[in-house]
Amino acid sequence: MLLDVIGHNFRVVREAARGRKVLAVVKADAYGHGVVPVARRLQSEGVDGFGVALAEEGLELREAGIDRAILVLNGINGGAHREIIAAGLTPVLYDIAEARAFQAVAEDRPIDVHLKVDTGMGRLGVPVDDLPEFLRDLRACPAIRIAGLMTHLSTADADPAYVAAQLGEFKLAEGFVRRFGHAPSVRHAANSAALFRHPETHFDWVRPGISIYGYAGSDSVDAPLRPAMRWRTEVLRIRTLRPGQSAGYGRSFVAVRDTQLATIPLGYGDGLLRSASNRGHVLIRGVRCPIVGNIAMDLTTVDVSDAAGATVGDEALLLGEQGGAVLDAGDLAAAAGTIPYEVLTNVSRRVPRVYLNR
């Protein structure tokens, strides 16, 4: 992992935010990059806070010495309300039962929360039509202080009209919240795609995730981001397949000519998506070599016939730059029929992470 690239991407994000505070989303082990090293680098760069999905992720950051604001985006599940308060984590609230649970452990101290409203994502959040009833019920929880108001945009990468509709709902929700006597000091909605495509969504904070790691979240964005993950292994074996011989489970690849086949010690157990079988590529000696045969749990076979001189011990690169050639998470995602987010977060913990500043 290239921590200097994380720093570079953060500076690109901060410039795009135009003075708004930046809450870097580091959920799912910082999108597979390693949450503690990434958070430490971002803290040194001056990030204003972090977004995590789970309380456990926030507690891991606190134990690692991270002292910035930490917002638990998915709310609190499992009854650890007292521990969340003690760790200084800020919960996202969207359920009145959770408000009552925090009230029960408040001990006459105010508890700051960020209220999430559902403006069209259809997952978490108080639907705007239900907000008045929610706010009336919240009066029974005087310790709960709505410090922030937030929503999540579902089509910031593709559909400006729906973004506008969601913003209309968000403004309606803010009106309800203020009429009920609450005064949130921050509002936030912008994910990575909205950060670059929709400045009208920036409000007080922005919440970039994928852009911190080098991807803009939309194909239409031209920003100087650079991928921070370089995923490598080495060639384990070279052999020649004769016409009619096959590679891997199911014989999904059968050689039609003499084929130089490299076996690399990496498979779906390491996070290489099996759906990239016979579709993805690996860089060896600067050549894009096709994956052939079905990707297995621990091993993958690659056609290196065009990589002249390929031999055991050569670097085999899944993501990154080699000899002027580049593979990124978008390439692997296209081969696997998915999105870069899944490619990055799928890299398993059995893959060693090495952190470089250069």
CA distances from 140 to 105, 176, 186, 215 (A): 14, 17, 23, 44
Interacting residues of 352 by C-beta distance below 8 A, sequence separation 6+: none
Q: Helix (H, G, I), strand (E, B), or coil: what is residue 262?
A: strand
The whole-angstrom separation of Cα 150 and Cα 25 is 14
Q: Helix (H, G, I), strand (E, B), or coil: what is residue 318?
A: strand
> Position 147: which residue type?
A
Interacting residues of 103 by C-beta distance below 8 A, sequence separation 6+: 111, 140, 141, 142, 143, 144
Establish whether 21 is a catalytic residue: no
Establish whether 27 is a catalytic residue: yes
Catalytic residue among 31, 162, 213, 249: 249
Interacting residues of 133 by C-beta distance below 8 A, sequence separation 6+: none
Give yes or no for a contact between 241 and 251, defined as CB atoms under 8 angstroms apart.
Answer: no
Give yes or no for a contact between 126 and 138, defined as CB atoms under 8 angstroms apart.
Answer: no
Q: How many Å is the maximal CA-CA distance in the chain?
A: 78
Token readout for 32 is 């597979």
Active-site annotation, residues: 27, 249
